[in-house]
Amino acid sequence: MKTNYIYAYVIMLSLVGCSDNNPTSSTGDNNNLNQQKETKHQGFASISDSESKKNVLQIAIESPQHKTLVSAVEKAELVDVLAAVGPYTVFAPTDEAFKSLPAGTIDELLKPENKTKLQNILQYHVAPGIFTNDKLKNGVTIGVANGGKVTITEKDGKKFVNDAEIIAVVEGSNGNVFVINKVLLPQ
């Protein structure tokens, strides 16, 4: 686990490096009344805030190894949900994890007609409540957002959720992100 923490720390640092995004950008505070009538995009994900700790969505977006996960979250229209107040525990498969799925699986899931299926899979990766790493002990079972359950096991100093290894932990404002090396498939 020690190396995992170091890894997490590296991710955190890279996030800090990215954090100087513009603070006032989107909001339509144009004083011209006519222009004000244009309603800006609303939703948690559109809130401009460079001061708060990152939320789980921002952590995923700014991570170099979660591009597939982020595009899946966008396709499933779960962007605003992940930026909401939570609290969440998120198991976040890496791009490598998605690649190890049978060929064509992810392309198929990203098709509009499979949105419900995709949502079901993604929601299998999110649990209500913030679990810290020390609460994820061998044998702990967690109810997840799609109604299913995942199980934690510990073996040889490694920690797994179902059969996916937890390789890093990043604390977010609205939840914790556990980086995993396999996509969890609802049973």
Partner 1 sequence: MKKIKLTTVSKISGIALCITGVFITSCQNKGKNGNTVLGGDVASKVYVAPGNYDEFYLFTSGGFSGQVGVYGLPSGRLFKVIPVFSQNTENGYGYSEETKPLLQTSFGFIPWGDAHHPVLSKTDGDADGRWLFINENNTPRIARIDLKTFRTTEIIEIPNSAGNHPSPYCTENTEYLVAGTRFSVPIKKRDVPINSYKESFNGAISLIKVDKETGKMSLAVQIICPPFDYDKNRAGKGVSKDWTFFTCYNSEQSYTMKEINASQNDKDFILAVNWKKAEEYLNAGKAKKMNTPYYHNFFDESTQTAKSEVINEEFILEPKDCPGMLYYIPCPKSPHGVDVSPTGEYIAAGGKLAAMIPVYSYEKMIKAIENKQFDGEIEGIPILKYDAVIAGEVKNPGLGPLHTEFDDKGYGYTSMFLSSEITKWKIGTWEVVDRIPTYYAIGHLCIPGGDSKHPFGKYVIALNKITKDRYLPTGPELTQSAQLIDISGDKMKLLLDFPTVGEPHYAQSIKADILRKNQVKIFKLEENKHPYACKNEKDARVERKGNEVHVYMTTIRSHFAPDNIEGIKVGDIVYFHVTNLEQDWDVPHGFSVQGNNNSELLIMPGETCTLKWEPKQEGVYAFYCTDFCSALHQEMQGYIRVSAKNSNVPLSWKVGND
Q: Determine which residue in the list 4, 55, 119, 123 makes contact with partner 1, applying CB under 8 A.
A: 55
C-alpha pair distances (Å), 171 with each of 9, 60, 88, 90, 133: 10, 12, 11, 10, 10
Binding span for partner 1 by CB under 8 A among 5-13, 35-43, 64-72, 154-162: 35-43
Q: Per CB under 8 A, does 40 bind partner 1?
A: yes
Number of H-type helices and E-type strands within the chain: 8, 7
Q: What is the DSSP string of 155-170?
A: ETTEEEETTEEEEEEE
Helix (H, G, I), strand (E, B) or coil at 93: strand
Binding span for partner 1 by CB under 8 A among 9-17, 46-54, 69-77, 100-108: 46-54
Q: Determine which residue in the list 3, 17, 22, 24 makes contact with partner 1, applying CB under 8 A.
A: 24
Q: Per CB under 8 A, does 123 bind partner 1?
A: no
Q: Residue 113 has which token pair?
A: 């007609």
Residues lying near partner 1 in the complex (CB under 8 A) are found at: 24, 27-31, 33, 36-40, 42, 47, 49, 51-53, 55, 85-87, 128-130, 135, 173-175
